[in-house]
Structure 1
């Protein structure tokens, strides 16, 4: 029997248990997936427990994605470069850290694209943990042009320095708004528009290119005010459910060796969010 869980603080809001339980059932794998609140001062104790347990591993959410790195036995090269872990595999008491966020986002985004990323011009908004994972995955695809825009110049330069990709350009939010017409794909990685602050937007879309793909990693509400604006301007839109499901599916595969039915996972997440 497969046992796994998600840890974070807070953790009540996590949709991972319903999603991963659906994946287990649909794959015909006997198992359980739980959630556990782990405060920061108990993270080390939890890691010790996981090593000695029969759990296949866990998902990591806020605020532990960076803090867990030095507590693991091994960290995958990609997670090391990103500087964050969202998935841990327990291999006979040896804990190995991975990051499926960026690749999970790409799997979801590709469903909306009609051209390869190497032919597209991309704008990424934000410079936090999610932006870091997504920017890393995107830069590996060598887009035709890619810019990152952020409110804090300091955080933006820190991210660009860490990514160490000369092709990436940094912009202020104002510069991004003024140059919006050049981008085929616009991605919000900030929490602007997330419940309860549903009226805030990451960036004005006045100059948005018709037919552009606009992606928002926020999934509560399912359609943010920003995505509604984008749709009205003729954009193809994508909410955060795709990333949530795909990064979860990749974690599931690492524990079980099976890639699950992502349609079923998406279905149960959407049902829960619509409630």
Structure 2
């Protein structure tokens, strides 16, 4: 990689972030597309966030990615928001368009790009969880023309989720159905009417837990996805595969949300097949 006076910077900003694989993905893409850029991971204190955003302009950077806890906190420092970022209320990519800073959220697009031979338009989705990743998947599904969406959350999150879904309904005219995750009978009924089942909770990161009881039955048409990629195959995905269903983990979402950001910054397509190969070797 040649670094010279024309090299432009991009970075991921979060706390903590040193473990991030985004530098590996983006630097591989810069190299493969012969783009004169370097991508770093910046562990930034909350008090330094506004200055960090100001540096995007100051240093003529491509832009930044954001992870926890700054996806919402960054919004006041930006000039514009894309439609999906506004609806989600969170930004994971800032683009420097000749000094104008525009916030995007590429998580939902990245998620749907990662699904094998699947279009959400006209389909029914069951979504487990209502955190940041769930909101981006949910919002993108609405924007992409999903027919019907059911969200299941723990009873402690019901009220907060209801408020968000009501705001979405006002903005998009789309009514999302909300249920208690503990209500296994309804969960089973709804899954049987679905085309896509997504775990967007953190349940399964420990390699032992699952967001659903493993005695539930899956109809053969349901595609099952988990946003977790470490472990590579969660208990939830093992359960889906044991019933013969196609099941995908969250590594593709990570790659394709990065590809969307890369395209916004450079105008170039990220060579995802090539990078996917390296990622699976690294994490499998």
TM-score interval w.r.t. the shorter chain?
A: over 0.9
CA offsets per residue over residues 137-192 of structure 1, 9 Å max, x none?
A: 10123323221111121132123112214442111112324532222210011111
Task: Find the aligned partners of 1:211 and 1:235 in 2 and give their Cα distance.
Answer: 8
1:163 aligns with 2:172: no
1:204 aligns with 2:210: no
What's the Cα RMSD here?
A: 1.6
Task: Find the aligned partners of 1:133 and 1:218 in 2 and give their Cα distance.
Answer: 15
TM-aligned CA deviation for residue 119 of structure 1: 4.1
Match runs of 1:94-243 below 5 Å: 94-109=100-115, 111-113=116-118, 116-151=119-154, 152-164=157-169, 165-173=173-181, 174=183, 175-194=186-205, 197-205=206-214, 206-243=216-253
TM-aligned CA deviation for residue 49 of structure 1: 2.1
SS of 1:59's equivalent? strand
Q: Is the 8 A contact 1:23 1:264 kept in 2?
A: no
Q: Is the 8 A contact 1:2 1:29 kept in 2?
A: no
Task: Find the aligned partners of 1:242 and 1:108 in 2 and give their Cα distance.
Answer: 5
Q: Is the 8 A contact 1:11 1:36 kept in 2?
A: yes
**Structure with higher RCO (Cα < 8 A, 6+ apart):** 1
What is residue 256 of structure 1 aligned with on the other side? Answer: 266
SS of 1:106's equivalent? helix
TM-aligned CA deviation for residue 118 of structure 1: 3.5
Task: Find the aligned partners of 2:192 and 2:11 in 1 and give their Cα distance.
Answer: 43
Task: Find the aligned partners of 1:101 and 1:166 in 2 and give their Cα distance.
Answer: 20
Match runs of 1:38-53 below 5 Å: 38-53=44-59
User: Could you tell me the TM-score, scaled by structure 1's length?
Assistant: 0.92
Choose 124-133 or 74-83, whichever is displaced more: 74-83
What is residue 3 of structure 2 aligned with on the other side? Answer: none
Task: Find the aligned partners of 2:268 and 2:279 in 1 and give their Cα distance.
Answer: 20
SS of 1:35's equivalent? strand
Alignment equivalent of 1:9, drawn from 15, 27, 40: 15
Q: Is the 8 A contact 2:126 2:190 kept in 1?
A: no
Task: Find the aligned partners of 1:97 and 1:141 in 2 and give their Cα distance.
Answer: 19
Task: Find the aligned partners of 1:75 and 1:121 in 2 and give their Cα distance.
Answer: 28
Choose 214-223 or 158-167, whichever is displaced more: 158-167
What is residue 265 of structure 1 aligned with on the other side? Answer: 275
Q: Is the 8 A contact 1:177 1:203 kept in 2?
A: no
Task: Find the aligned partners of 2:71 and 2:40 in 1 and give their Cα distance.
Answer: 18
Q: Is the 8 A contact 2:62 2:265 kept in 1?
A: yes
Structure 1, gaps ≥5 residues long: none
1:71 aligns with 2:74: no
- The count of aligned residue pairs is 269
Structure 2, gaps ≥5 residues long: 1-6
Q: Is the 8 A contact 2:10 2:62 kept in 1?
A: yes
CA offsets per residue over residues 181-205 of structure 1, 9 Å max, x none?
A: 22221001111111xx221111225
